[in-house]
Amino acid sequence: MEKKIVTFGEIMLRLATPDYLRFNQSPQFNATFGGGEANVAVSLANYGLKAEFVTRLPKNDIAKSCVMDLRKYNVGTDHIVYGGDRLGIYFLETGAVARASKVVYDRAHSAIAEIQPGMINWENVFEGVTWFHWTGITPAISQGAADVCLEAVKMANKLGITVSCDLNYRKNLWKYGKTASEVMPALVECCDIVLGNEEDCEKVFAIKPEGFDVTATHGEVNAAEFESVCVQMQKRFPRAKKVIITLRGAINANHNTWGGVLYSEGKLYQSKRYDMTHIVDRVGGGDSFMGGLIYGLITYPADDQKALEFAVAASCLKHTIYGDFNQVTVDEVEKLMAGDASGRVSR
């Protein structure tokens, strides 16, 4: 049976200042679209898998442009529901060297923020589907979005569909009266694959590696330190067959190290570590990792090491691409996995 993946969440209009300009310097913005779960769907479609993105959009020309953009990348949009008044927006100021990037959200009262249980027929959405993916961004948007996300994961469990999540803690989004620690456990309990970074597990579940300080890494992250995080996460959420942690060492805004660990059946897998200089765009980096990981776990079901290496290499390449979407092919990722990082012109 052909593998079909569904992702669910919010897609936004992305307005970014060009050329590292600050918000107050720029007379214009570059307009694209992006959002965690849509980014994952685009990655999977680029790799040749059947991917569908589910969301709620208003009926207007901006939303129509958004849907056309998704279709351009072969992402299915048949189960998008319509209603509400606006598409969410996020503004991006790209940092440089010691100046961090900034994101300003304008997504209050967006179409998906006002979604309610029953608006999506998940049984219909999941017909013929083998994998469902969501992120911690969606339940942070509103109580309605959290409730619909819970509807989805429970139906996926009932139908025997693999469920993955990226914890994706965003402190600036949890504004509707509930905390991530209150909402996320019931959702993560339904997941087979759990991805987080060095902060997500601590901020949401108070699970952290001993003695680790993300601000003091200077680009060096000891992967083995995170085995305890994975073990604690599996103990808390026993349904999770695999726990994956992305490892970013921030030397500065343009220069990071990048890798990951995967814990499964009592074994810790550690990836190759990449030294990423001259980063073009790191927004969507975690989503590109997740897209690569889902592809890897589906394509190499008996080789967790290879699945992890595919995810890390795919995400490394994303850091060279402008925009939220990771527009790379399987061949390009596999070439980097094999050690070809020369950047020579392909003729």
Scanning the chain, the segments in alpha helix (DSSP H) are 36-46, 61-72, 122-125, 137-141, 143-158, 180-188, 200-205, 227-236, 285-299, 304-318, 330-337
In 3D space, the residue among 199, 217, 340 whose CA is nearest the CA of residue 272 turns out to be 340
Report which residue type is found at 171. K
Asked if pLDDT for residue 217 goes beyond 60, the answer is no
Entry field: residues in the chain: 347
CA atoms of 150 and 145, how far apart (whole Å): 9
Stated as kind and residue range, the H or E segment containing 64 is helix 61-72
Q: Rounded to the nearest 10 degrees, what angle do helices 330-337 and 304-318 cross at?
A: 110
DSSP states of 197-240: -TTHHHHHH----TT--GGG-TT---GGGGHHHHHHHHHH-TT-
The pLDDT value recorded for residue 223 is 73
CA atoms of 85 and 92, how far apart (whole Å): 23
Pair of tokens at residue 110: 């967006």
Pair of tokens at residue 86: 């606006």
CA atoms of 59 and 87, how far apart (whole Å): 9
Report which residue type is found at 211. G
Query: Where exactly are the structural domains of the chain?
Result: 4-337
- Spatial neighbors of 216 by CB under 8 A, at least 6 apart, are none
Query: How far is C-alpha 288 from the chain's CA centre?
Result: 7
What fold is seen in the domain 4-337? UDP-N-acetylmuramoyl-L-alanine:D-glutamate ligase (3.40.1190)
pLDDT tens, position by position, 155-195 = 999 999 999 999 999 888 999 999 999 999 999 999 999 99
- Asked whether the CA dihedral 15, 21, 22, 28 is positive or negative, the reply is negative
The pLDDT value recorded for residue 125 is 98
Stated as kind and residue range, the H or E segment containing 241 is none
User: Among 68-77, 261-270, 273-282, which is the least confidently predicted range?
Assistant: 273-282
pLDDT tens, position by position, 267-283 = 999 999 999 999 898 89
pLDDT tens, position by position, 79-136 = 999 999 999 999 999 989 999 999 999 999 999 999 999 999 999 999 999 999 999 9
Q: Is 58 helix (H, G, I), strand (E, B) or coil?
A: coil
The stretch 18-41 carries a mean pLDDT of: 95
pLDDT band at 199 (very low <50, low <70, confident <90, very high): confident
